[in-house]
Amino acid sequence: MSNVSLERDHSTTPERKTHIKARTQIPAVYPPRFPVDASATWHNTDRNEYTPSYFVTGKVLARDTTLDPTNPLMYADPEDVSRVDFTTRLSYEGPILFDETGLPLNPIGPTGIRGRGLLGKWGPNHAADPIVTRINDENKLEMIAVKRIDSGEWAIPGGMVDKGERVTQTLQRELSEESSANLSFEKAVPVYQGYVDDPRNTDNAWIETDAYHLHIPSDVLIQLAVHEDATEETEWMELREENIDKLYASHADLVKKAISMWEKENHAYVASTGEVNK
Ligand code: RP5
């Protein structure tokens, strides 16, 4: 264990990340979250008054890699956190902090639920998000989007980084599994690395992502289709403001950042209707 200090106080630093869904939303199987104020940090939370439920799903416990180390379907840490080697676990948010019982602490602050919930790893759970855009026949910017089975929300076709996988491989694999599109991300533009405001996050397990943007020429033929049990629907979604704002977790922020970088690079302007002006 590398650090037990709780001195970092994100509430007063300008880089405090969005932490709304991780405090106020829950997947259907979670117990209610203990109420947590928007300004709450580990620094200013009274541990005697803060008494959230502890929750981990049966699926996470059953997928413990130590139960069957050679089985590729196993992805979760053991429930006993003292068996996890945190020296090799990277968080993009800085050194991982721990509470007095050895549980890693969400780098942005309390979430109102302890344990891992639906997340397999104690601490950061690494994901990758492929933002694929093109300009459609109506001169509007559009993105490959998927409708998630768990929440019914539209999202970037992202997913978790598998053990030993490079992020560019995850981007290609997840896009293909969720939308059938097969594209290389070797030349994609890095957009964001860090904490994601995901409704599955807990005090002790959270998602961090690597988001990349790939803008493809309009004449590249791409057939979209849902395959595997990953998503309900997939489509080219026009990047109108109201579509972007409804995206899952932190995806609206990721897409907005990708658009703004693309505008600068291409001396272009994308209107709130998605229309591209060069
Ligand atoms: C989000 O969860 C990430 O941005 C990524 O898109 C996604 C990964 O989880 P799964 O799609 O694998 O459930 O927070």
What lies within 8 Å, CB to CB, of 134 at 6+ separation is 141, 142, 215, 216, 217, 218, 220, 236
Instruction: Assign 105 to helix, strand or coil.
Output: strand
Adjacent-strand bridge partners of 237 = 143
From ligand 1's centre to the CA of 49, what distance in Å? 32
Which residue has the least CA distance to atom 14 on ligand 1?
A: 198
- Per the confidence metrics, is the pTM higher than 0.85? yes
Q: Is the CB of 40 under 6 A from ligand 1?
A: no
Taking alpha carbons only, the member of 134, 131, 247, 225 closest to residue 179 is 225
The predicted-structure confidence for 121-172, as pLDDT tens digits, reads as follows: 999 999 999 999 999 999 999 999 999 999 999 999 999 999 999 999 999 9
Query: How many C-beta neighbours within 10 Å does residue 276 have?
Result: 20
Amino acid letter, residue 194: G
Nearest CA to ligand 1 atom 8: 159
**226-278: pLDDT as tens digits:** 876 778 899 999 999 999 999 999 999 999 999 999 999 999 999 999 999 98
Q: Which residue has the tokens 């594209």?
A: 183
Return the CA Rg of the chain.
Answer: 19
> Ligand 1 centroid to 37 CA: how many Å?
25
